[in-house]
A and B are shown apart, each in its own frame.
Chain A
Amino acid sequence: MNYAQHVLTHLRKDLRLEWRTKDSINGMLFFALLVVVVLAMAFDPASYPDMTRQISGGLLWVALLFAAMTALNQSWARETNNSVLDAHRLSEAPASALFIGKALANFFFVTAVEIVLAPIFTVFYNLQPLGQAWKLLLVLPLGTWALVVNGTFFAALSLRTRNRETLLPLVLLPISMPALLAMIQATTAVLTGQFEPTLWIKVLLAYVIVFTTACVLLFQTVLSAD
């Protein structure tokens, strides 16, 4: 098997597992919905459309980030049952293929949540983008990948620690800060139409490239860290 086939096998396995249980997606979806509702109590989205446009980008990403974190914590838990992770370490497949497969699977889960959440968000927050809405089609996948690639990596890293559930947000949030800033700014730019999102899309792209490379190169080290 070549590298792409290894990745595909891992990806298919994760998608099949998720399809049969639907644990992560359902959990994430409901959690994100709850965050959106809770945030609506902090301010009145319907009465202040301008302010809503200003802060919705941030709210959307915060909801997605928190939701993704609940799923990311679980994504490696499956591999620890019956020492599956040790089997992975023994297998001939390159470790980074396992990582990319897992990250892609998580990417698809979070994207599925976004596809459901975006219309709900638009309706609940009464949003009308004033910029070029098609640019969100660039921002959303890039932002999702930026969150998921580091999230998957640090979830694997925190497998090796005590209280791993607490650790993931502690590590993921500071490291993701530039990406969060870029995706929130880009989304706000599209929603308000007051400035161009191009710079922030570039930042996001650079972040994604740099951190995907770092994750792929260092995953082997994390997987065999003992």
Chain B
Amino acid sequence: MPKWAEGWFALTVLALIYGFYRAMAAPREATMGNLYRVFFYHLPHAILSFVFPYLNLAASFLYLFWRNRNVERAAAADAFALASAEVTVLYATIGLATGMLWGRAAWGIWWAWDARMTTYLLLWLLYVCYLLVRSFSSTGQTAVIAAVLAIFAAIDIPICFMSIRWWRTQHPAAVFGGGANSGIDPSMLPAVLWNMVAWAMWGAFLVGVRYAIERRRQQDANAEALGILNQEETTAVLRHRLEEA
């Protein structure tokens, strides 16, 4: 790991610890008591899992653009698309799990088929399916198929969002920007923001690590295809180039 990545990791851990402290030190909520504290984890994960799909979409477009122009950049874009899709699934899973725990405690049921939850479940399903397709497809075509699927998934999400909203609504109205009575008590705001920043940093770190691993896998695969994997010098050169990049 390069020095700056280690620094980033250290900062992230500090931010996570501080975020945890703020979440636990925030005042008790009027009706839900301490139960609401899961909100500080639920909200950042839920919001961030709608951010990573856009990174995935952007990387997929870049892949299709570079595919016949610059192979190296295309491979990098593909690695990034994979990394961001995996982190999307991870964050959406945590968002769903914390949401269900909270729902069970606050509403008495694990799951209600309301607009947000259904949309969110679909988001999760779409990116799980993206990862499945990647693992099913034969090497050499994986990247193209995945990029096309990523575009379809990204188009699908807004349509899902609107149509399901017209269908039904039970989830509490949007916490932020949902009209006059929305928003939270200002005393809770620092905890929300700190957790938001901390989990965003953590997500970025995971994407970075996953990207580096995937790049290394690609380079190993290329080296193997060229039959130079066993020549230690070449591998060392490849590794060195990777670390520089």
Contacts and interface: CB of A to CB of B under 8 A. Distances in A.
Interface in B51-99: 64
A210 B157 CA distance: 12
Interface residues of B, number: 29
A185 B86 CA distance: 33
B145 A225 contact: yes
Contacts of A207: 159
A92 interface: no
The 10 closest A-B pairs by CB, nearest first: A225-B144, A161-B137, A174-B125, A178-B163, A161-B136, A160-B141, A178-B159, A225-B141, A178-B160, A174-B126
11 contacts: A160-B138, A174-B129, A175-B156, A178-B163, A178-B164, A182-B163, A211-B152, A218-B148, A221-B147, A225-B148, A226-B141
Chain A at the B interface: SS class: helix
A150 B162 CA distance: 20
A174 B138 CA distance: 22
Interface of B: 64, 122, 125-126, 129, 132-133, 136-138, 140-141, 144-145, 147-149, 151-153, 155-156, 159-160, 162-164, 166-167
Interface size class of A (residues with CB under 8 A): 20 to 34
Contacts of B151: 214, 218
A213 to B, nearest CB: 9
A162 B140 CA distance: 13
Contacts of B160: 177-178
A181 interface: yes
A62 interface: no
Interface of A: 150, 157-158, 160-163, 166-167, 170-171, 174-175, 177-178, 181-182, 185, 199, 203, 206-207, 210-211, 214, 218, 221-222, 225-226
A203 B153 CA distance: 17
Best-buried of A162, A163, A225, A226 by chain B (most CB within 10 Å): A225
Contacts of A171: 129, 133, 149
Q: Most B CB atoms within 10 A — which of A160, A199, A210, A214?
A: A160
Contacts of B164: 178, 181
Contact of A203 (B136, B152, B163): B163
Nearest to A210: B155
B152 A167 contact: no
Contacts of A160: 137-138, 141, 145
Given A174-B122, A174-B156, 5 more contacts: A157-B148, A161-B138, A162-B137, A174-B129, A174-B153
A11 B136 CA distance: 30
A175 B126 contact: yes
Contacts of B144: 221-222, 225-226
B136 A167 contact: yes
A101 B124 CA distance: 33
A170 B163 contact: no
A175 B152 contact: yes
Nearest to B157: A178
A170 B140 contact: no
Nearest to A181: B163
B167 A181 contact: yes
A175 B141 contact: no
Contacts of A157: 145, 148-149
Contacts of B136: 161-163, 166-167
Contacts of A174: 122, 125-126, 129, 153, 156
Given A161-B145, A162-B137, A211 B122 contact: no
